[in-house]
Amino acid sequence: MGEHILVTQQKKYFDMNDKIWLSSPHMGGKEIDYIQEAFDENWIAPLGPNVNGFEQDLINFLDEDVKVAALSAGTAALHLALIQCGVSHGDEVICQSMTFSASANPIVYQGAIPVFIDSEEDTWNLCPFVLKEAIKSRIANGKKPKAIIVVHLYGMPAKMNEILEVANEFDIPVIEDAAEALGSSYNGKKCGTFGKFGILSFNGNKIITTSGGGGIGMP
Ligand SMILES: Cc1ncc(COP(=O)(O)O)c(C=O)c1O
C-alpha cells in the first residue's frame, strides 16, 4: 500500500517535470512570513499596509506619475477601465483578436459589442493599419467605437506609437491590456503607461503572482 502511494507520487512528480510550464509561480522564500504577519496583525482584508506598499512598488517600478490601484483580477481592471471610459449597452469596443478571452469578456459584461481587429506580423499584436480602416468603417456605419483594447501579448509590446496616433486622430481612449507584460518596455517606457488606462494581472501564471489579483494604472 505504502509503496503504491510512493510510486503514484513519483509518477506525479515526473509527469509535472516533463511539462514545459507557461509560467509557473516562483517563491522567493519570504512569502510564508508575510502571510503569517498578515494573520498576526489581523490584516485579513484586501487592503492594509501590504496592499498600499504593493501599489507604491508598482508606481515606483512603472512610472512615478502613474496612479495605481490593486484590484481582485486583471479582468476586473479591464472592466473598471471600460466603465470609466463610459462604455455601456450597445456600444462598440475595439479589441485585439489574438489574445486571451479575458481581454474581450468585460466588453460583453457591459452589454457592449467587441469589434475584433487582426494582428500584424512583427509583434503579433493589434495592427495599426487595420485599426484605422475599422474605425473609419464603423464611423461610416454610424457608430464610433467607444474604446480600443490593445494587448501586449506574451510580454511583446504592441506598436504603441502608431496605435496612439490612430486613436488620437479619432479621439478614442486606449486601454492597454498589459496583463502579460509587467516589465516590458516600448521606447524606454513601461508597458501599461501609454493608454488612458493600463491593466495588469497577478494571476498564478503571470510575471509576478498574488495567486489571483490585478491592477489598474492611470497615467
Ligand atoms: C492578455 C490577458 N488579459 C487579461 C487577463 C486577465 O487577467 P486575470 O486572470 O487576472 O483576470 C489575462 C490573464 O489571465 C491575460 O493573459
Domain-embedded: residue 48: no
Domain-embedded: residue 138: yes
Verify whether residue 206 is a known catalytic residue.
yes
Domain-embedded: residue 200: yes
- Cα angle: 89, vertex 218, 180; to 5 degrees: 85
Domain-embedded: residue 58: no
Task: Find the Cα–Cα–Cα–Cα dihedral 57, 66, 113, 104, rounded to 10°.
Answer: -20
Q: Total structural domains in the chain?
A: 1
Q: For the chain, give the longest Cα–Cα distance.
A: 72
Give the range of the structural domain holding residue 179, as residue numbers without chain letter.
65-218
pLDDT in tens, 154-212: 999 999 999 999 999 999 999 999 999 999 999 999 999 999 999 999 999 999 999 99
Could you tell me what percent of the chain has a pLDDT over 70? 92
**What pLDDT was estimated at residue 19?**
72
Domain-embedded: residue 125: yes
Domain-embedded: residue 16: no
**What pLDDT was estimated at residue 11?**
58
pLDDT in tens, 187-196: 999 999 999 9
Domain-embedded: residue 36: no
**What pLDDT was estimated at residue 193?**
98
Atom of ligand 1 nearest to the CA of 212: 10
**What pLDDT was estimated at residue 128?**
98
Q: List pocket residues of ligand 1, CB cut-off 6 Å.
A: 73-75, 99-100, 102-103, 151, 177, 179-180, 201, 203, 214
**What pLDDT was estimated at residue 8?**
58
Q: Which of 23, 98, 100, 109 for a ligand 1 pocket mutation test, highest count of atoms within 8 Å of Cβ?
A: 100
What's the CA gap between 74 and 79, in Å, rounded? 9
Query: Whole-model pTM?
Result: 0.90
Domain at 152, CATH number: 3.40.640.10
In this prediction, residue 9 has a pLDDT band, given cuts at 50, 70 and 90, of low
What's the CA gap between 95 and 23, in Å, rounded? 24
Atom of ligand 1 nearest to the CA of 99: 1
**What pLDDT was estimated at residue 1?**
46
> Could you tell me where the DSSP H helices lie in the chain?
2-18, 31-41, 49-62, 74-84, 105-109, 128-140, 160-170
pLDDT in tens, 78-117: 999 999 999 999 999 999 999 999 999 999 999 999 999 9
Q: Sign of the CA dihedral 95, 100, 101, 105? A: negative
Domain-embedded: residue 110: yes
